[in-house]
Structure 1
Amino acid sequence: MIDWAYFEETRNTLGPGFIRILGYFREDGQESLRKIEEAMHSHDTAALVIPAHTLKGESRQFGAEPLAEVAEKIEMTARHCIEVGRFPDELIPDVVELKKLFRDTIAAFDAAVSPLKQRQKPGGFGNKVANTGFGRAGS
Structure 2
Amino acid sequence: MSFEGSTLVDWPAFFATRAELGTGFVRILGYFREDGVKSVAAIELAMRGLNAAGLVIPAHTLKGEARQFGALPLATLAEEIEVIGRDCVEAQETCEAALTAVTRLRPLFEQTLALLEREANPPAPRRPLGGGGFGRKIA
Give the alignment's TM-score, normalised by structure 2. Answer: 0.83
Q: Give distance in 1, aligned partners of 2:40 and 2:92.
A: 23
* Mapped contact 2:11–2:70 kept (Cα < 8 A): yes
How far is the alpha carbon of 1:44 from its aligned partner?
1.1
* Structure 1 gaps, min length 5: 127-139
* Mapped contact 2:51–2:95 kept (Cα < 8 A): no
Is 1:109 matched with 2:116? yes
Give the alignment's TM-score, normalised by structure 1. Answer: 0.83
Per-residue CA deviation, residues 39-80 of structure 1 (Å, 9 max, x unaligned), is 011111111100000000000000000000000000011101
Count, aligned residues: 122
Q: Give distance in 1, aligned partners of 2:72 and 2:122.
A: 25
Q: 1:23: which partner in 2?
A: 30
Tell me whether 103-112 or 87-96 shows the greater mean CA deviation. 87-96
The structure with the largest alpha-carbon Rg is 1
Q: 1:64: which partner in 2?
A: 71
Q: Give distance in 1, aligned partners of 2:127 and 2:69.
A: 30
* Structure 2 gaps, min length 5: 1-7, 129-139
Q: Sequence identity of aligned pairs in percent?
A: 48
Following superposition of structure 1 onto structure 2, how do residues 67-106 of structure 1 map, counting pairs within 5 Å? 67-106=74-113
Give structure 1 regions of 4+ aligned residues with deviation exceeding 3 angstroms: none
Q: 1:46: which partner in 2?
A: 53
